[in-house]
Amino acid sequence: DIEMTQSPSSLSASVGDRVTITCQASQDVSIHLNWYRQKPGKAPKLLIYDASKLEAGVPSLFSGSRSGTNFTFTISNLQPEDFATYFCQQYDNLPFTFGPGTKVDIK
Amino acid sequence: QVHLQESGPGLVKPSQTLSLTCTVSGGSISSGDYLWSWIRQPAGRGLEWIGRISVSGATDYNPSLESRVTIGLDTSNNQFSLNLRYVTAADTAVYYCAREPRGYRPIDYWGQGTLVTVSS
């Protein structure tokens, strides 16, 4: 299985902050990497797919990039609804695997 | 608008079989454009992909669960199902059903999730 490591595991931030989360795959997954936001008691919501493509209807303050097996997710201007947990997921190889998550809470 | 809804017992005894159904509305499960998936999440932990099924009945399973899992399709009722045999407390989790478009596309619709607790 492809292991996805994610950092940090948690962070504290304020509204308006720029937040960056990284995800590393244990082997090449090409561009097949998603970023999800999950709020407590809710299903994950897709924000970024193919490493850098914005899902329809998702604000452009979210962005993603890739460098080899390293992926970066950025929220440029943190909003109140963005305090949540974020997961990366690779869908290049079965079984699809997820990162352990990054919890973003209020400073 | 496509909607997926999980249903099934919320409590299962150890060594028994966990059985869940996902009912799809707003779209046909018989469409060849999609794969139908199950994913779970233990409390406070990350997500684990369980497996998926195509309209032809072809399945892919997570090797870690493959010996205990069966995913089935019921096109007449627009549903798909999950059976997980010989459950233990480690199988306690929120179970999600989801729709995955074919061809290296991410999951585009998720059910709301259902908590299944394994306990005697």
DSSP state of B54: -
Nearest Cα residue to A96 out of B37, B82, B95: B37
Which amino acid makes up residue B30? S
| Partner A contacted by B58 (CB < 8 A) | no
Residues B9-15, mean pLDDT to the nearest whole number: 97
| Partner B contacted by A72 (CB < 8 A) | no
Bridge partners (DSSP) of residue B5 are B23
Residues in A touching B45 (Cβ below 8 Å): 100
pLDDT tens for B77-97 read: 999 999 999 999 999 999 999
Task: Please state, rounded to an integer, the average pLDDT across all residues of chain B.
Answer: 95
Residues B62-73, mean pLDDT to the nearest whole number: 97
Residues in B touching A103 (Cβ below 8 Å): none
Residues in A touching B22 (Cβ below 8 Å): none
DSSP state of B10: S
Residues B10-23, mean pLDDT to the nearest whole number: 98
Residue B43 clears pLDDT 90, i.e. is over it: no
Residue B31 clears pLDDT 90, i.e. is over it: no
3-state secondary structure B12-36: ECCCCCEEEEEEEECCCCCCCCEEE
CB interface of B with A, residues 73-102, below 8 Å: 96
**B87 backbone dihedrals φ, ψ, rounded to 5°:** -75, 155
Q: How far is CA B83 from the centre of its chain?
A: 9
Which amino acid makes up residue B42? P
pLDDT of residue B45: 85
pLDDT tens for A19-72 read: 999 999 999 999 999 999 999 888 899 999 999 999 999 999 999 999 999 999
| Partner B contacted by A99 (CB < 8 A) | yes
pLDDT of residue B117: 97
| Partner B contacted by A2 (CB < 8 A) | no
pLDDT of residue A98: 96
